Structure formats: C-alpha cells, structure tokens
Amino acid sequence: MADLLSTAVSALQTYRRGLDTTSHNIANVGTTGYSRQRIETVTREAMPYGNGWVGTGVDVSTVRRVYDEFVTMQARSSTTSYEEQAAYASLAERINNLYASSTTGLSATLQKFSNALQSVANAPSSSSARQVMLSEANTLAAQMNSYATTLNGIASELNQRVTSGVNEVNSLATAIADLNDKIVVAQNRTGQPPNDLLDQRDVLLDELSAKVAVTTLRQDDGSINVFIGTGQPLVLGRQASKLVIGPDEFDASRLQVSMQTTSGAVDVTKSLTGGEIGGLLQFRDGMLEGARNSLGQLAVGIASLVNEQQAQGMDLHGQMGKALFAVGGVETLRSANNTGTGSLSVTRADATKLTTSNYRLELAAGTWSLRNADTGAAVPMTGSGTAADPFVADGLEIVVPAGAVDGDEFQIRPTQNAAIGMKVLFTDPSSLAAAVPVIASTASANTGSGRLGELSVVDATNPALRTTASIVFSSPTSYSIDGGPAQTYVPGQPIVANGWSLMLEGTPAAGDTFGVKDNSTGVGDNRNFLTLADRLGKPYLDDGKTSLSGAIGRVVADVGVQTRQAQVSRDALAAVQQDAIAAKDSVSGVNLDEEAANLIRYQQAYQAAAQVVQVANETFNTLLGAIAR
Amino acid sequence: MTARISTAGQHYRSLNALLNAQSQLARTQQQIASGKRVLTPADDPIGATRIQDLARQLSASDQYLANNDVARSRLSLEEQALADVSTAITRIRELLVQGSTDTVDYESRQMIRLEIEGRTQEILDIANRKDAQGEYLFSGLATLTQPFARVAGVVTYFGDQSQRMQQVGETQRVADGDSGAEVFGRIDEGNGTFVTGAAAANTGSGSVSVGSLVDRAAWTGQSYTVQFTSATDWQVVDSAVPTPNVVSTGTYKSGDAILFGGVSVAISGAPAAGDSFTVRPSGATDLFSSLDRLVSTFATRTDTPAAKGQWRTAVDGSLEQLDQAFDRILEMRSSVGVRLNMLDVAQSAQEDAALNFETLISDVRDLDYAEAVTRLNVQYTGLQAAQKAIANVGQLSLFDYL
C-alpha cells in the first residue's frame, strides 16, 4: 500500500540531503579545487494496483561532483605551459636587467676603455692618463667579473629551484599515491565516488603539473596513474616513485634529475619538459649557457686583442709590452664514467676563431672525434692530438691524454670561465706599451724623393727587432740591408726585415739610406696605441667578422629578443590559462546565487513535504475520530 | 544558454583585471619617471642595440673632440714657435744685409755679429720649447729628449724624424707636430740645386754669386770649376776623372754671367790668374750651422783683397741660405695652418655627429610624453573602473533577499 507518510518522509530526507549538499557547497565556496556537488534524485519504485501504479516517493541516488574531465585536463596542461614560460621569463628578465643600462653597460665600459686608451695616445708620457687607462681596464675586468658572477648566481639559484621543485614533485607524488589508496578504499566500501577526496587529488595533480608536465591515466578502481617525461611512471596506484637529484656526468655543479626504478636510476633530465622544472632546465641549457659563453667569448676577445697589441709595443721603461689582461682558461671536464687515465689539455690558440659553443670529445674505436655539445654536429679537427702536433679546431688546440681508452668522453667549454677570471695583470702605468719599439729615419744626404711611411712590428719575438739596421739603395729598385744581399724594391710594397715592416713613399735614388733603430727614447710615441684603438673598433671575433662592440650589441640583442619572446609567450599563456581555469570554474565552481536559489528550492520542497506529513497526520486523526465517535 | 560563472571565478577575473591595470599603470609611471621608452633590451631589442651603438659612437665622438683639442693646442704652440723663428730670421737677414755693405767697418760689424749670435741663441731656445705637458715640441717622438744642444760648438739634433698622429675622426688622423729635423734641418744648400764657392787659395778679390739654374735639362748634377788662366780669361772644367773636360771658355768681365751646363753664375771683383771658383750640387744643411757660419764669416777680417773676395762669397751664400731657411719655416707654417684648418673641419664634423647621435638616441630611447601621459590617464581610468566593479559587483547577492 502506498503510504502517504513514508512518501513524505522520503521527500523530507531527500530535500534534507539537498540542503546539506547546498550548505556544503556554500561552505566550500573559497576552497581551492572544490567542485560543486549536486544530489541526483530518483523516484522510488511504484506500487502496482488494479487501477495503476502509485508512486512511493523519492530517493537520492548519489551525490554527484559536477566535473568535466576534458576542461580539467585543459586547465592542467595550460598551467604546465604557463609555469614553464613564467619560470623561463623570470630568469630571462634577470639577465635582461643585467644588460639594461646604456650608460653603464658593457658597451659603454668598453668605449670608456678605448677613450682612455686614446687619452694615453694624446700624451703618452703623462702618467695620469696612463693611470686613468689602467683604472678603466680594471673597471672593464670588474664589470666582466660582476656579469659573470651574476650569471653564475643565476645558475646556482636555478640549481636550488630545480632541487626544491624535484622535492615538491616527490612529496606530491607520495600524497597522490596516498589519496589513490584512500579513494580506492572509500569507493569499495560505499560504491559511491568520494567526491571530496577526488577534488583533493585533482588539486595535487594541478600542483604537480605546475612543476612538470605529466600524463594521467584513470583506473577502474578510482585510482589514477601519473607519468612524467617520456612515460616514466611517477605514481602507479598506491605506489609513488622517487626522483633524485644527482651531479651531471661531466660537471658536478650541474644537476641532473633521474628516476629510481626497479632497474636502477634512469636519467630523465632531457625528457622533463613543461612546468617550472621544465622551464628552468630549458633556460639553463639555452639562454643561460649562451649568455655565459658569449660573455666569455667577449672577455677572451678583448683580452687577446689588447694583449696582442701590447706585445707588439714598447712601454715607458723601454721594455717590450706585456699582457694587460688575463682571463679564465678553457674548462675541460672528464666524464665520471671514463675508465682511462690522464687529463685533457686544451688551450685557446686563436681568439678570433672561438665560438660560443661547448664541445664533446670522445674516443671511439681508437679515433678521437669532436662534436658540438649543443647541436651534436661533428666538428672537423686537424693535427694528431699530441703535444707536438695538437688537434686544432675552432680556435682551440687540444692535446689528448695518452692513457685514454675507448669510450672515454670529455666536455670542453672554451669560454664559459673566461669572464669570471678576467683581471688586470699589472699595476704600473708605465707598463702600458703605447710606443712602437723601433723608429725609422732618413739620411739627410738622401737625394731621392723617398720618404718614410708607416713602420710597424710584424714579429715582436724577432731577437734582432730592435737592432740598428740601415737600408741602402743601390738603385731606385734595389736595396740591401746592413750590407746584405741586394733585394728588389717594389714601390708600394713594404721592406720587411728583423720583424719590422717599413713602407716608403716616393722614389729613393741610388745611394739613399734609410735607418731603422731602437726607439727607447720615444716616450712620446703613441703609434702602438693608435693601432690598438683602431683595432678595438674593427672586426675581430668570428674569424674577423665581428667587432667587439658588435659582439656586445649582438649579446644585448639576443638577450632582449629571447626575453621578449619569453615575456610575450608567458603573457599569452597566462591568458590561455586564465581562460581554461574560467572554463573549468564555469563547470565546477560554486555560484552563491545559484546555491541561494537551490536553498530556497530545497527549503520549499522540504516545507511542502512537511505539510504532507501534517496532512497524513490529520487524515489519520480524522479516521481515528470517526471510529471513536 | 549563457555560461555559468562561479562566484570565486568572478572574483578572480575582476582581480586579474585589476592587477593587470595596476602593472600597466606602474610601467607607464616608470617610463614617465625615467623619461625613457626603452627601459631594458626586452622592451625593444633592436632599439636597445641601436641605443648602445649610438651611445658608443657618441662617446667616441667626444673622445675625438678631446684628441682634437690636444692636437690643436700643440699645433698652436708650434705655430707660435714658427712665427717667432720667422721674426728672428727676418731680423738676422736685416742685420746681415746691414753688415754686409762695404761702408761698415770691422768694429761695427762685430756689434752686428753679437746681435746675430743672440738671435741664433733665441732660435735655439725656441727649437727647445716645450708644450703644457712638458713635452718638447720639436723632438719627434722622443718628446722628453731635448732636441737641440751644442756639442763641441756644433748644434746637434737628438730627436727623431717621426711625427705623432692624433685620431680626430674615425678614419682621420692629424700630426700634432713636426720633428726638429724637418723644421730646422735638411735645408738645401745654396740655391737648392748647386752651391758656389771660392777656392781657399785664391789671391784675387773675385767673389762668386750664388748663381741660378737657367736650363734644368742641361744640368747634369756634377761639379764644375771655373778656372782663371789669366786675370782676364776663364775656362770651366767638369769633374771628369782623371782628366777634366773643358766645357766652356771666355773672357772675364766683372759681374757678367758665366753660362755652362745649365748654370749661370756671376763673378765680380778682380780675380787673379790661378784663382778658381767651384760649383757643386747642393747637399743638405741645417739652420743652426748656417747661422754659425754666418757668425764666423762676420768675425773674419777683410783686410786683403783675397779675404774680401772670400768674405763676399760667404756673405752672399749666407743670405741665400737664410732665405732657404725662411722659406722652410714658411712652408712649415703653412703646413701647420693646413692642419689647424683640418682640425677645425674635423671638430665641426664631430660636433655635428655628436649632436646627431644625441638626437638619434633620444628618438629611439626617449619617451613621447604626450602619448605617455594620455596613456597614463586611460590606464588610471581603467584601474578606477576595475576597482569600482569589484566593489559594486561584490555587493550583489541573492542572500541579501533571503
């Protein structure tokens, strides 16, 4: 028999559940990741009568989480992309700010050095001008150091962030595995989805995908499997794997991430993409590596150009000039897996041929081969790798260890350490070699029209460089030096001897004499620094294609372009992420007005059901009253 | 159906709009405060590179201007020194002319000689002048070596023959001085082609003029001797060895030009038989030895006809030599003038360039204030609206009516 009272009570219970759920929704309006819940109602089974089926009330079939897997996944993947770019951009901006100033930047400092150089050229015997130039040299070196230190600081900060990111991934993985466990248990016990636990797990997955890109696979028992990289399982059911941070094969200061599996640790560094960790690693291998190497290349370029010219000059003491700058050497790193012995020796042979790349040198089947560490492209080498005949490639001279065995690998970083080690080598301003060590003269009795042109040093190491030499013309086209064999004079071609090269203008006559001698009295000589100032503005790096200031410009432009790209894509992805989250919110988020409406709806239904109970009661009383009368 | 909006989502959306408006406003404020449109390379990578490059060129321009000043100051000092030398030479020439007339007696000539000596010393002092940095003007690159000093009575040059260049433009260099060897030395002897002289053994009073070249094509550059076979007959022989060739003969008349080998010389006075006069190609001499020779000429007595002839030849030679030196100084002065002029041109070129660089930098880097202030106002209004929206929308709730 259909029972009015029990039907009413079923309604009371159902709408009470509705009010509870609405209240839960309202209570969690501010809870991150909370999905609104709805009661699903079904009619109770009707009772058959001869005149038809009579309904028996209502039941709550389930409390449903309003949730759309697709929009949730979209929000998650947009978070992964956004966090990757945000991490990249935040570090790129640091480098960008380093290169920001046009008045105190590298370009300005190099120009100040060049200006100070010209001030010495203005008055080579003035010690104050020389002092200023030395201090500009120190400023230049200090600025190189400070840039390199900042870049190194970013590298070590990056290491810390990767480490803490990996720790977070590990604790999130553990928490997800725990929740998997709880969810499976709860679902088994009730057969109903444990909505709040599912929400909590989704929040953890959101947090995880902000750190690194993940793929998830839902299981029938309610648990979820999580994979990272190229499919390495991070969470399988109630089991979480562990990511570990270890030193790179070549460089202990460089971190690599590996996953502990039953078959040992697997290096997943290269396959970790997306999220904060992905962005950090991408930044480390891309922009940061590039910025450090190009700064180093610049330091090597400045030092070697200035030192080359110093070596050709003569200082105020009458000595041949010595090197002004020192820079950090080439870094050679052996693989931790090498079984051979001995160390690799690499030196910079030609600063103009250096690149901003790192290299990988390996011995396979008895043959050494060199590859570009960034692109993997083979780099041709000449020579045989011995001390007498080293391998030569990209401006480097490589002497390989005799004790190496097949499979040994080395990493070569030609420029990375250069800027941090840049320093000025002397403090005596008189050691600046503004002068050329030789000077030419014309005999006063000369009758021809030959006049002295430029005299320059071509080989500063020639021991006879500064000995007095006399060039005597026996005819306008023939001369001998210090009574030596007759040589043919070609107008427009320099006379080269003893490491110097002398140009003549006009036509010398027979019997004309020109002299070249030591210039130790030439304290007012600025010729060497004029040449240096000139060379500082001329193409030098990249095999004589890029000037130093051009290289600075290129670094600044590169940094600017990369930072801008990162900022633009970060901003674009932020919009995408906001949209995706809004889409998810529009499905799952709590709307208070809606809940208020529901509150009213359920309350009214509840009140109506209560009225039905009242009617049932009165109906029953009516019946009882009729009998009692 | 319209999309549902969750209460939290609505809040975040408004909040994001607010934060965006704030950060844009902050950026505009920063631009206005600094006056710069490009704050970091990322703001405009191409522009930032260009700014750095322009700033570098501007700085280089400033240095070229400083170099220009240094060169100018040294060249001005040289110009002054050369002017002083000209004045001294002019005075010596006056004294020479005054002292070489026959009416001046030996004692008066000694007074003149003393002044010439004084003037010579003055020129020597000028040649040893220094610039403001204490560097000698005329010692080439050996700028701390005193260029001229008397060694055993002879003025010797200790500098070198080089010039110091100053970079006054990217490709332009100007010499900031001239070596003493160039200014005071290597002055042609005689008239620049040949030198005449009277043989020391001459007994007559004949003297020879400095002569001139009348036919360059005929001048072979060898030495000749005019020999007097008698008091009235001369012959010219060349320097062929062992037997000189007679190239010309004639009858002597005082003051007549004698022509041979492209050369025209005049002999005056009364040469004696056996006297000879020489013509040889010019070598080089320097101003100080010319002056010293003049002083010693003036110190010589002219009591005998022979001495008088020698003396006249020497005085004529000295006069020619002084004119050569004077020409050299004039030549140097005009060279210095040309260089000063080049410096003026280079200076105005660099000043224009610097101004141009500044304008270009400003174009790329500096902010368009009108645009920025307008933008600031728009953003300010936007921010206000976003704030109002949050405050107002937050007040709307169905719960208010329950």
Predicted local confidence at residue A252, as pLDDT: 85
B345-362 per-residue burial string, b: 16 or more CB within 10 A, e: under 16: ebbebbeebbeebeebbe
Residues 6+ apart with CB under 8 A from B276: B199, B202, B225, B226, B227, B228
B3 touching chain A per CB within 8 A: yes
pLDDT (tens digit per residue) in A363-408 = 999 899 999 998 899 999 999 999 999 999 999 999 999 889 999 9
Task: List the single residue in B16, B140, B173 with the smallest CB-CB distance to A578.
Answer: B16
Q: Is B45 in Cβ contact with A556 (below 8 Å)?
A: yes
Cα–Cα distance, B54 to B36 (Å, whole number): 15
Residues of A whose CB is below 8 A from B70: 122-123
**Phi–psi pair at A229, nearest 5 degrees:** 60, -130
Task: List the single residue in B3, B40, B164 with the smallest CB-CB distance to A100.
Answer: B40
A445 touching chain B per CB within 8 A: yes
**Phi–psi pair at A515, nearest 5 degrees:** -120, 150
In chain A, what is the straight-line distance between the N-terminal and C-terminal CA atoms, in Å?
26
Cα–Cα distance, B181 to B187 (Å, whole number): 9
- Helical pair A127-190 and A275-283, crossing angle rounded to 10 deg: 150
Among A447, A521, A530, A555, which would you mutate to test the B interface (most chain B Cβ atoms within 10 Å of its Cβ)? A521
**Phi–psi pair at A113, nearest 5 degrees:** -60, -45
Among A91, A111, A452, which would you mutate to test the B interface (most chain B Cβ atoms within 10 Å of its Cβ)? A111
A400 touching chain B per CB within 8 A: no
Predicted local confidence at residue A19, as pLDDT: 95
Q: Is A445 in Cβ contact with B284 (below 8 Å)?
A: yes
Q: Which two tokens stand for residue A577?
A: 């992420």
Predicted local confidence at residue A2, as pLDDT: 54
Residues of B whose CB is below 8 A from A535: none
Q: Are A530 and B70 in contact (CB under 8 A)?
A: no
A597 touching chain B per CB within 8 A: yes
Minimum Cα–Cα distance from B365: chain A residue: A102
Task: List the single residue in A439, A563, A582 with the smallest CB-CB distance to B41.
Answer: A563
Nearest chain A Cα distance for residue B64, angstroms: 9
Predicted local confidence at residue B401, as pLDDT: 83
Predicted local confidence at residue B355, as pLDDT: 94
Tell how many helices (H) and how many strands (E) occur in chain B: 7, 15
Residues 6+ apart with CB under 8 A from A126: A120, B133
- Residue given tokens 């008088």 in the structure block: B308
For B8, the 3-state DSSP assignment is: helix
For residue A524, the Cα-to-chain-centroid distance in whole angstroms is: 49
Nearest chain A Cα distance for residue B164, angstroms: 7
Q: Where are the alpha helices (DSSP H) in B100-192?
A: 106-127, 180-183
Residues of B whose CB is below 8 A from A549: 53, 56
pTM: 0.86
Q: Are A58 and A11 in contact (CB under 8 A)?
A: yes
pLDDT (tens digit per residue) in B17-60 = 899 899 999 999 999 998 988 888 888 888 888 888 899 999 99
Average pLDDT score, chain A: 92
- Closest alpha carbon to B143 in B60, B70, B85: B70
- Closest alpha carbon to A142 in A441, A495, A464, A422: A422
Interface A–B counts its CB contacts (< 8 A) at: 208
- DSSP annotation string for A373-388: TTT--EE--BS-SSSS
Q: Is A92 in Cβ contact with B42 (below 8 Å)?
A: yes
- Closest alpha carbon to B386 in B5, B8, B12, B9: B12
Minimum Cα–Cα distance from B70: chain A residue: A122
Task: List the single residue in B4, B39, B52 with the smallest CB-CB distance to A553.
Answer: B52
Q: Summarize the confidence of residues A161-166 as an average pLDDT.
A: 95
For residue A191, is pLDDT > 80? Answer: yes
Q: How confident is the model at residue A34 (pLDDT cuts 50, 70, 90)?
A: very high
Cα–Cα distance, A498 to A339 (Å, whole number): 50
Q: Is B39 in Cβ contact with A107 (below 8 Å)?
A: no
pLDDT (tens digit per residue) in A40-49 = 999 999 988 8
Residue-level pLDDT, tens digit, chain B, 402 residues: 467 888 888 888 888 889 989 999 999 999 999 898 888 888 888 888 888 889 999 999 999 999 999 999 999 999 999 999 999 999 999 999 999 888 888 999 999 999 999 999 999 999 999 998 889 999 999 999 999 999 999 999 999 999 999 999 988 999 999 999 999 998 888 888 899 999 988 998 899 999 999 998 988 888 999 999 998 899 999 988 888 899 999 999 998 899 998 999 999 999 999 999 999 998 888 999 999 999 999 999 888 888 888 999 999 999 999 999 999 999 999 999 999 999 999 999 999 999 999 999 999 889 999 999 999 999 999 999 888 888 887 777 888 887
Q: How confident is the model at residue A1 (pLDDT cuts 50, 70, 90)?
A: very low
Q: Is B44 in Cβ contact with A108 (below 8 Å)?
A: no
Residues of A whose CB is below 8 A from B139: 524
Q: Is A30 in Cβ contact with B60 (below 8 Å)?
A: no
Nearest chain A Cα distance for residue B373, angstroms: 24
Q: Which of residues 359-388 of B touch A (CB under 8 A)?
A: 361, 365
Q: Which two tokens stand for residue A579?
A: 């949209």
Residues of A whose CB is below 8 A from B163: none
Longest alpha-carbon distance in chain A: 164
Q: Is A592 in Cβ contact with B399 (below 8 Å)?
A: yes
Q: Is A523 in Cβ contact with B59 (below 8 Å)?
A: no
Residues of B whose CB is below 8 A from A435: 141
Cα–Cα distance, A444 to A442 (Å, whole number): 6
Tell me the one-letter amino acid at A136.
E
Cα–Cα distance, A444 to A594 (Å, whole number): 110
Residues counted in chain B = 402
**Phi–psi pair at B175, nearest 5 degrees:** -70, 130
DSSP symbol at B36: B
A136 touching chain B per CB within 8 A: no
Predicted local confidence at residue B39, as pLDDT: 85
Nearest chain A Cα distance for residue B159, angstroms: 8
Q: Which two tokens stand for residue A433?
A: 């070699």
Cross-strand pairs, A598: none
Nearest chain B Cα distance for residue A581, angstroms: 8
Task: List the single residue in A567, A582, A594 with the smallest CB-CB distance to B13.
Answer: A582
Q: Summarize the confidence of residues A76-100 as an average pLDDT.
A: 93
Q: Which of residues 315-374 of A touch B (CB under 8 A)?
A: none
A527 touching chain B per CB within 8 A: yes
Nearest chain B Cα distance for residue A387, angstroms: 43
Predicted local confidence at residue B192, as pLDDT: 85
Nearest chain B Cα distance for residue A211, angstroms: 22
Q: How confident is the model at residue A629 (pLDDT cuts 50, 70, 90)?
A: low
For B247, the 3-state DSSP assignment is: strand
Task: List the single residue in B6, B40, B45 with the smallest CB-CB distance to A561.
Answer: B45
Residues of B whose CB is below 8 A from A122: 66-67, 70, 166
For residue A161, is pLDDT > 50? Answer: yes
Q: Which of residues 170-229 of B touch A (CB under 8 A)?
A: 170, 173, 181, 185-186
Residues of A whose CB is below 8 A from B49: 553-554, 556-557, 560
Report the sign of the C-alpha dihedral through residues A375, A376, A379, A385, in that order: positive
Q: Are A541 and A454 in contact (CB under 8 A)?
A: no
Rounded to 5 degrees, what angle do the CA atoms B46, B41, A421 make? 115
Q: Is B7 in Cβ contact with A29 (below 8 Å)?
A: yes
Q: Summarize the confidence of residues A52-66 as an average pLDDT.
A: 92
Q: Which of residues 139-168 of B touch A (CB under 8 A)?
A: 139-145, 160-162, 164-167
CA distances from A77 to A212, A214, A274, B343 (A): 10, 8, 9, 67
Minimum Cα–Cα distance from B47: chain A residue: A557
Minimum Cα–Cα distance from B73: chain A residue: A122
Q: Is B142 in Cβ contact with A556 (below 8 Å)?
A: no
For A458, the 3-state DSSP assignment is: coil
Task: List the single residue in B56, B141, B145 with the smallest CB-CB distance to A107.
Answer: B56
